Structure 1
Amino acid sequence: MVTGQGVVTPLGTGVEKFWSGLKSGSCGIREVQSFETDELYITIAGEVPDFDPRERELSKQLLMADKYSQYAGCAAREAVQQSGIETPISDEDAYRTACIIGSGVGGLTTLEFSYKMLFKENKRATHPLTLLKAIGSSASAHVSIEYGIKGPTFGVVSACSTATHSIGVVYQMIKSGLIDTGIAGAAEASLNWGATRAWQAMRVLSPDGLFPFSKTRNGTVLAEGSGILVLEEYEKAKARGAPILAELMGFGMTADAADMVNPSIEGASTAMKMALDEAELAPSDIDYINAHGTATAVNDVNETRAIKHVFGNAANNLSISSTKSMHGHTLGACGGIEAAASIKALEENFVPPTIGLAETDPECDLDYTPNVGKKRDINYVMSNSFAFGGLNAVLVFGPNPA
């Protein structure tokens, strides 16, 4: 059961602010403010606005952490508070609680700053906490310390599928009886000059905006943030009167084993089918798909074809959207942020839009909810994450089973 969720996004911090932005079709992609864009032709990004860790009253340890860990800590706190879990976690429950929070690249901005100090400023040493701030398991470690979690604690790394894999791993741990409760998701704060320079060298970034499934799409837009869920075993959540937001019913994961950047239809469609099978649902049961929808030429067409392959005629009855059009591509964190969007869609029977969709690509011929969101009955939702390296992960959510 999902009993709590928290987000930090370019549309704002906190699920309600984020969801309000999605419903209204707001865009969090803007001109970069946090670093110089000299010598860059990509000058837009999805930066988290007005995030002051001191104003967020983060702990002393998190105040000394990399921004990606701070985002994770902030999102986790919202999720934990909503879930009503008593913290610090009791000794009785500590070893049966997991903290799986990943990141695609970890503390990349810390590393860039340190290399600048060494190689440009000719400093003799870096900050003494550089290593601890940069490593990809820092966020999970910080959150486990915050709440006294002593069970499985580590970070997952699978590029843009990281958060979805993290949530799926906790789901499997609960199903196997290893744990009763888990905090799961990912965080990313890799917006800096060097990272943008590396991404633009791949020719996959748009200088204009992120327009999924559009005929005129010309690339994705980098963003930052965090998405965290609290998952609990049903009877435990029910016994303590926890707010059950949704049931995580199915999880599928595959690898294309084909190409680092060109996704396959088989890998994505098999992951979707696995998630449906585990949820014991037919394709026609799904009402809404939060698509991976990166606005790259190949991804959007392949995802469309994969959906058609799995759903058949039922694909024509789906509502689909890519919320990345509004919050940007938050890399490893996107699956957590989009899971929160999917759960809110389920809760409110509302499909968020895909903004910037003036003319659809003829090869992307499904209902992508262009520009304006809509009300519809939603019983089951699917959230897709398809990463570089052909790493695919899919979640299926349904209503509170009570």
Structure 2
Amino acid sequence: MSSVAITGFGVVSAAGSDRRAFARALFEGRSAIGAVVLPRAFGRRAFRAAQIVDLPGNAAETAGDRRAYDRFSVLAFLAAEEAVAAAGLDTEDLAGDRTSVLLGTGIGGATSIDDSHHGLYVEQRRPDPLTIPRLMAHAAPALLSRRWGCRGTVLAISSACASGAQAIGLGMSFIRAGLADRVLAGGTEASLTPSALESWQAMRVLTSTRCRPFCADRDGMVLGEGAAVFVLESDEAAARRGAPVLARLRGYGTTSDAGDLVRPDASGAAAAIRAALADASLAPHDISHVNAHGTGTRLNDAAEAEALQSVLGADAARIPLSATKPVHGHTLGASGALELAATILALQSSTAPGTLGFEAAQAEYPLAISDQNQPIAGAIGLSNSFAFGGVNAALIVEALPLAPL
């Protein structure tokens, strides 16, 4: 199948408020994980996560009426602003029925949900009339549509941690099928609320120490928040305006385990990777870099390692692999988008970011993973996203080395 041009992308995360800052955190090995500051707490438990401490002072105002938007929508808006600017687009370019907006989110307006429930059950006050428009998963893509006058398909994808990757893959499919000339695609999540953190803790999947993907002594993940948005364009649309192409989406594969709700199946993950390779008309040895889903949980890392070894064979021990969640946290529905951004940045710099917390002596699987940056020889990257519910997604992207950001 034909590739689709990426002419701009933007990132907002605890590790950096734009893609340049995000890249520096990845390559300098700076973790954004720290103590979570909550407006209220349940009990005395202290949580650590990759929380965005400072947003621009006018972040909510630039998105419109401050009361109308949840934090996850504002994060998507900020990432989209950077993406649109990087692509050299304006409202005149994006307005109309040939531009679509597809965003993934695992939960949607988690902050609005938590605030509303606390107000109703604890403070016994009447809910804000705008609570429902804030909390709906569709609020973020609807905001982007409204801001730039995008009148094509506007869609929220919610499939847990695969949401962002699926939104991007579907965006590529829209362009290939001629359903759109341009798509704003990505993922966003802001769910660091007291109830959410306590609920994750109850599952016993949060680390009690630090996130250590693929290590034998790994004991869990660390949550995060953030957003990444990409401008996808057909070659014709990009050529008409002489747009520089930052990268190309080559392949997309998605499958379902149709099995256990929380226990991943390596064969399902492997099938998604194979589907992405087939879609891109590539062989396993063509892959130059892997950005792993790499949550740091025992079951997920084991299934992903088995899937990579099944598909890549002996090359799994050769291809530089990065697991970047120890830097920016597990951003759930936004993770596939943030990690595609990390994959592109790695290919552009010919450098695979080191995996923080990884210890070679604790390596459990024969993968090319290191706590130090590794050189990349080639232009093709694979980004994996595997979610609760047995939803698997893989994206393949091509990006040539550029001057350092």
Tell me the TM-score range normalised by the shorter chain. over 0.9
Shift in Å, 1:325: 1.3
Q: Which moved further from structure 2: 5-14 or 357-366?
A: 357-366
Deviation at residue 154 of structure 1 after TM alignment: 1.3
Letter in 1 for 2:53: P
Aligned to 1:316: 317
Q: TM-score, normalised by structure 1?
A: 0.95
- Do the aligned residues in 1 keep the contact of 2:63 with 2:143 (CA within 8 Å)? no
RMSD between aligned alpha carbons?
1.7
**Whole-angstrom distance in 1 between the partners of 2:391 and 2:39:** 31
Residue 114 to residue 57, structure 1, CA distance change in 2 (3 Å): closer
Return the match for 2:111 from 98, 109, 112.
109
Shift of 1:160: 0.2
Q: Tell me whether 1:58 sits opposite 2:59 in the alignment.
A: no
The alpha carbon displacement at 1:26 in A equals 0.4
Hey, what does 2:99 align to over in structure 1?
Answer: 97
Question: Partner residue of 1:200?
Answer: 201
Q: 2:59 touches 2:74 (CA, 8 Å); kept in 1?
A: no
Per the alignment, in what secondary structure is the counterpart of residue 184 of structure 1?
Answer: strand
Query: What is aligned with 2:123?
Result: 121
Provide the C-alpha distance between the structure 2 equivalents of 1:227 and 1:59, rounded to a whole number of angstroms: 16
Matched to 1:68, the amino acid is: F
8 A contact 1:61–1:142 mirrored in 2: no
Going from structure 1 to structure 2, the CA distance change for 1:279 and 1:188 (only over 3 Å counts) comes to same
Q: Deviations over 1:96-118 (max 9, x none)?
A: 11101121000111111111111
- Give the Cα–Cα distance (whole angstroms) in 2 for the partners of residues 187 and 42 of structure 1: 25
- Percent of matched pairs sharing the same residue: 38
Which residue identity does 2:27 align to in structure 1? K
Mapping of residues 118-197 of structure 1, within 5 Å: 118-123=120-125, 125-197=126-198
CA distance in 2, matches of 1:342, 1:181: 22
The structural deviation recorded for 1:63 is: 6.2
Matches within 5 A, 1:10-29: 10-29=14-33
Secondary structure, counterpart of 2:102 in structure 1? strand
The Cα shift of 1:202 comes to 0.6
Does structure 1 conserve the Cα–Cα contact (< 8 Å) formed by 2:294 and 2:325?
yes
- Inter-CA distance 161–55: structure 2 relative to 1 (3 Å threshold): closer
* 1:363 and 2:335 matched: no
Aligned partners of 1:208, 1:359: CA distance in 2, in Å?
18
Name the counterpart of 2:403: none
Question: Structure 1 stretch 44-53 or stretch 178-187: which is displaced more?
Answer: 44-53
- Describe the superposition over 1:337-357 as per-residue Cα deviations: whole angstroms up to 9, x where unpaired: 001111111111111111011
The residue correspondences of 1:330-369 to structure 2 (distance < 5 A) are: 330-359=331-360, 361-368=362-369
User: Taking structure 1 as reference, are residues 340 and 63 closer, same or farther at Cα in structure 2, changes over 3 Å only?
Assistant: farther
Q: Which of 74, 82, 90 does residue 86 from structure 2 map onto?
A: 82
Give the 3-state SS of the residue equivalent to 1:18 in structure 2. Answer: helix
Name the residue aligned to 1:73: 77
Q: 1:90 Cα deviation (Å)? A: 6.0
Q: Unaligned stretches of 5+ in structure 1? A: none
- Shift of residue 130 of structure 1? 0.4
| 2:368 counterpart SS class | coil
The 3-state SS of whatever aligns with 1:139 is helix
**CA shift for structure 1 position 53:** 4.9
User: Match of 2:10?
Assistant: 6
| Alpha-carbon distance change, 195 to 84 in structure 1, aligned in 2, over 3 angstroms | same
Kindly state the Cα deviation for residue 360 of structure 1 after the two structures are TM-superposed: 5.3
State the 1:59 CA deviation: 3.1
Deviation at 1:37, TM superposition (A): 4.7
Specify the SS of the correspondent of 2:128: coil
2:35 paired residue number: 31
TM-score under structure 2 normalisation?
0.94
Query: Does 2:371 match 1:390?
Result: no
- CA shift, 1:271, in A, is 0.4
Change (3 A) 1:377 1:361: same
How far apart are 1:208 and its partner, in Å? 1.9
In the alignment of these two chains, the number of paired residues is 397
1-structure distance, mates of 2:118, 2:42: 16
Query: Which stretch shows the higher mean deviation, 188-197 or 236-245?
Result: 236-245
The answer (yes or no) to whether the contact 2:94–2:148 under 8 Å persists in 1 is: no
Tell me how far 1:374 sits from its aligned partner: 2.5
